Amino acid sequence: MNRESRSPHLSFDSLVEYWLGESDDTAAQRADMHLLACDACGIKLDEVMALAQGVHRSFTDGLVHTFISDAFVARLLERRVRVRQYHVPHNGSVNCSVEPEDDILVGRLEAPLEGVSRVDVAISRSLADGEHWVHDIPFDAVRGEVVIAPKLLALRDLPTHDMHIRLLACDGEGRHEIGHYTFHHHA
């Protein structure tokens, strides 16, 4: 522990932002420096990472998507992190936007997941653009949902656009689509 650098402890939501890659450069640098010197915040960061175990990330045109669990979202809400949530019906679409006060944006994709053992995801911003794949993402078969969290900092910079997501179940036979979703994002 370094007694010289007494910057204030990192809040739970700033640790989540840091871990999700949401912090701007200044905040990320400050967190890096603080974490080097502070065991207590290091332990809190471990807790954030453990909560989000099995998280997978994808990059679409510089936009980072993270797949998280319902338990993780519940924990964020408990900690008063401001979570904007969109429920997307099976094979449906939703209009979405980001407000300045939002800490995290979450999309809950409704999907028939019973008996499914592995889910892959294909994401595209425009159909001409090709799809970006994420393999073996976390999902909740009982709740029948997949939870996606796009990076807010990047999303705030994006113009109005559509994002397409396809969920595919994988088994010994190969892959088949179990749902598709569209986010109509308004800048």
Q: Select from 134, 114, 113 the least CA-distant residue to 122.
A: 134
Which positions from 54 through 113 interact with Zn ion, judged by CB under 5 A?
A: none
Cβ–Cβ under 8 Å, residues 57 and 138: no
How many alpha carbons fall within 13 Å on the CB side of residue 102? 19
Query: Among 31, 41, 52, 73, which residue sits at the site for Zn ion (rule: CB under 5 A)?
Result: 41
Instruction: Name the segment binding Zn ion (CB under 5 A); options: 3-11, 50-58, 91-99, 137-145.
Output: 3-11
Tell me how far, at minimum, the Cβ of 24 lies from Zn ion, in Å. Answer: 19
CB of 16 to Zn ion, least distance (A): 15
Asked if 38 interacts with Zn ion (CB under 5 A), we say: yes
- Check residue 9 for interaction with Zn ion (CB under 5 A): yes
Q: Restricting to residues 168-187, which ones interact with Zn ion according to CB under 5 A?
A: none
The distance of closest approach from Cβ of residue 29 to Zn ion in the complex, given in angstroms and rounded to an integer, is 15
Where b means 16+ CB within 10 Å and e means fewer, 87-101 reads ebeeeeebebebeee
Short-list 52, 54, 57, CA closest to 134 = 57
Assigned token pair, 151: 């990076």
Nearer to Zn ion (CB atom), residue 35 or residue 158 = 35
Chain residues binding Zn ion by CB under 5 A are 9, 38, 40-41
